[in-house]
Amino acid sequence: MTKKPVVLVVMDGVGVSENTYGNAVKNAYTPNLDWLTANYPHTTLKAHGVAVGLPSDEDMGNSEVGHNALGCGQVYAQGAKLVNVSIESGDIFTSKTWNEMTGYVRDNTLHLIGLLSDGNVHSHIDHLFALIRQAKKDGIKRVRVHILMDGRDVPETSGLIYVEKLENLLTEVSDANFDAKIASGGGRMKVTMDRYEAEWGMVELGWKTHVLGLGRMFASAKEAIETYRQELNVSDQFLPAFVIAEDGKAVGTIEDHDAVVLFNFRGDRALELSRAFEEDNFTKFDRVRRPEVYYAGMLQYDGDLQIPAKFLVAPPKIENTLSERLVAKKVNQYAISETQKYGHVTYFWNGNRTEKFDDELETFVEIKSDVLPFEQRPWMQSAQITDTLIKAVKSGKYDFLRCNYPNGDMVGHTGNYEATIIGVESVDLQLKRLYDVVEEVGGVLLITADHGNADEMYEKSKDPNAAPKPKTAHTLNRVPVIITDKSVEIKDGDFGLANIAATVSKLLGVEPDPIWMEAIIK
């Protein structure tokens, strides 16, 4: 078990399901993946729920917690679970940040910005409700909520359900001493929630909408959503920005001495807005004005860069990662993906750490993603990733290389079944190219995924005559793992993503860290 190099491929969003309805993985033409499965040791892994640190097995996995588990070989309490525990214990409301924030805002406005959803991937509506109720208890006079519509981790046009729930709560808590309203919003893939600096224009639009109150005005969020749906026929995630106004004036601009809390708990789509509020020498767009506010995140989204400086719930402190172990053993490592998933094979893989453990022993390569809807170019940068990775494999410099092909996830999130088929087939083509080179140099290819998505592209309908309704969320399905070394034997057991670190280590001939989950191979 010391063939080198070991090359790990993460087929993002490619789950395993025998159901054929809307299954862009099973229904795609994948001769290479099929051949590898038929000819090499393989099994499936659990990639959601408690196996990746989420509260229950009803919680779908995601790329962030998936890569955390893959890279550290352990299961840490993640995202929603961390916040749930903090709210249940009351720690979040006795934290230094909460106390400073409530003292700072006094008779001004607390602004709550985030994804209005119960998808439990970026946020949860229950967390927002807890913040609103506690704000009233602690004497804050005015709250404005800036809602980003989901339609990605929940059904694509379910947004009005969440708006109604929020409006009902705001009506319940509002009185002569507490003024709470929705102030602005828009779809998560149009407004505010960019990641990896792929499209700063989304954040600029969010700034204009939430902070400056500039944009198309409506009397209510319900009116905005219904109007845009009728005019544009778009799902929630692509709704344009909107501003709630009374008498022609925005009800919730962000002003000096206000407080702002970004209530998303996941970091990738929270970093850029945080930077816009916190950076003194900010150059990504013209902020026009930068109000002097108390800014905090639900979590600290980047511990190394300390973004944001203030946060309500401490993130998991992930230690003893695979990268640390391999650096200690002087193993040269290489990580590559395109922009959309570059942070997953670097930052999340290394335990939410931006900096490398060793600049000489770790090489990170980013292939720039196209800035256009993924269904328009579903092959994405898969060929370019493979071109560059093949050169690295042939160089002989690296013993462990890892890559992420984003297609199954990013194209899957568009809800476009036909495009997702092409995305999956594009990855399959690259597997053959990569397999041939790894075989040529005497290495091992380990193929897996971080969660499902492309494997369920339609929502099930009770009406057999109804047209298929696109599903844009992740799935609860297991993911594949294939090892191109016929000498290995896979153990019996119910394994998850956290078992991969020890498996990679064992394939490299490095003794796994004893605190890791066991390897899947004997």
- Dist CA 417 CA 423 (whole Å): 10
- Dist CA 472 CA 414 (whole Å): 6
Q: Strands 458-459 and 469-470, how do they pair?
A: antiparallel
Report which of 68, 46, 65, 73 is spatially closest to residue 57, judged by C-alpha positions: 46
Report which of 5, 10, 1 is spatially closest to residue 482, judged by C-alpha positions: 10
Burial class of residue 26 (count of CB atoms within 10 Å of its CB; 0-12, 13-18, 19+): middle
Q: What is the 8-class DSSP label of residue 69? A: H
Amino acid, res. 260? V
Q: What is the pLDDT of residue 303?
A: 65
Given a contact cutoff of 8 angstroms between Cβ atoms, the answer to whether 37 and 473 are in contact is no
Q: What is the pLDDT of residue 22?
A: 95
Per-residue tens of pLDDT for the chain, all 522 residues: 567 899 999 999 999 999 999 999 999 999 999 999 999 999 999 999 999 998 889 888 999 999 999 999 999 988 888 999 899 999 999 999 999 999 999 889 999 999 999 999 899 999 999 999 999 999 999 999 999 999 999 999 999 999 999 999 999 999 999 999 999 999 999 999 998 788 999 999 999 999 999 999 999 999 999 999 999 999 999 999 999 999 999 999 999 999 999 999 988 899 999 999 999 999 999 999 999 999 999 998 876 578 999 999 987 789 999 999 999 999 999 999 999 999 999 999 999 898 999 999 999 999 999 999 999 999 999 999 999 999 999 999 999 999 999 999 999 999 999 999 999 999 999 999 999 999 999 999 999 999 999 999 998 776 777 788 888 889 999 999 999 999 999 999 999 999 999 999 999 999 999 999 999 999
- Dist CA 424 CA 407 (whole Å): 6
Given a contact cutoff of 8 angstroms between Cβ atoms, the answer to whether 70 and 56 are in contact is no
Q: What is the pLDDT of residue 466?
A: 79
Alpha carbon distances (Å) from 237 to 57, 150, 153, 384? 25, 5, 10, 28
Q: What is the pLDDT of residue 314?
A: 80
Report which of 195, 423, 154, 398 is spatially closest to residue 307, judged by C-alpha positions: 195
Q: What is the pLDDT of residue 192?
A: 98
Given a contact cutoff of 8 angstroms between Cβ atoms, the answer to whether 312 and 297 are in contact is yes
Task: Identify whether 86 is a catalytic site residue.
Answer: no
Amino acid, res. 188? R
What is the number of helices (H) and of strands (E) in the chain? 15, 18
Beta carbons within 8 Å of 114's beta carbon, 6+ residues apart? 122, 123, 128, 146, 147, 148, 262, 263, 264, 298
CA trace torsion 40, 408, 57, 262 (10° rounding): 140
Q: What angle do CA 489, 493, 497 make, to 5 degrees?
A: 90
Spell out the alpha helix ranges (H) of 106-177: 125-137, 159-173
3-state secondary structure of 56: coil
Q: What is the pLDDT of residue 462?
A: 67
Dihedrals phi, psi of 404, to nearest 5 degrees = -130, 125
Q: What is the pLDDT of residue 2?
A: 63
Among 17, 56, 63, 395, the one annotated catalytic: 63
- Dist CA 404 CA 367 (whole Å): 11
Token pair, residue 263, equals: 């209530």
- Dist CA 266 CA 411 (whole Å): 21
Q: Give 469's strand partners.
A: 459
Residue that is written with structure tokens 């335990």 in the block: 351
Q: What angle do CA 450, 33, 420 make, to 5 degrees?
A: 65
